[in-house]
Structure 1
Amino acid sequence: MIVLSVVFTVESSRVEAFRAAVLGQAAQSLANEPGCLRFDVATDPEDETRFHLYEVYTDEKAVEAHRATGYFADFRGTVDPWTKGRELQTWTLIGPEAIDPPPSARE
């Protein structure tokens, strides 16, 4: 399983708009992509302009499918002008979820 960890820093005047956009992106990904198993959004309790996305995909094909969606392109087009920084890290999940994926990942 592939884990994407993305940290965004956004313009302070765009925090609420970014929050709405990223929560919409997460909801669409979970609803429409069988290979997207998890899409959590967190905020930094000490800096409201920092958002952390934690996404889990079944494999690299699922990540590619995610990046190919129209809503991913729309999200990036909308939030990129508001973004002061973005850090992406890719990980391989080795915990229990990777050994015994949830039933939805086995279908």
Structure 2
Amino acid sequence: MKILKTLSILEGSSLLLLLFLAVPLKRMLDMPEAVSIIGPIHGVLFIAFNLALIIAVGKSQLKASYGLIGFIASLIPFGSFVFKAKLLNQTPDSSL
């Protein structure tokens, strides 16, 4: 569960960097390099976070409903932070 908590913070942070730093730099200052760097990093973290959710649900370390909520939260700015604070901190830590 520790990895899932860490990934939720990293994924949420990368989404915020993408939306509130890289995209404005690209659109307003014509700097597409920011999206070219942060975009793939966010993509990898997004996939890793959702794979960790699937693994946790598969190992019965996380309820399936929590897994679905986690996936939806990963699509929403600040959602991963709320997911970690509200749901992941209520579940006991394990080796995930």
User: What TM-score comes out, normalization by structure 2 length?
Assistant: 0.40
User: What TM-score comes out, normalization by structure 1 length?
Assistant: 0.37
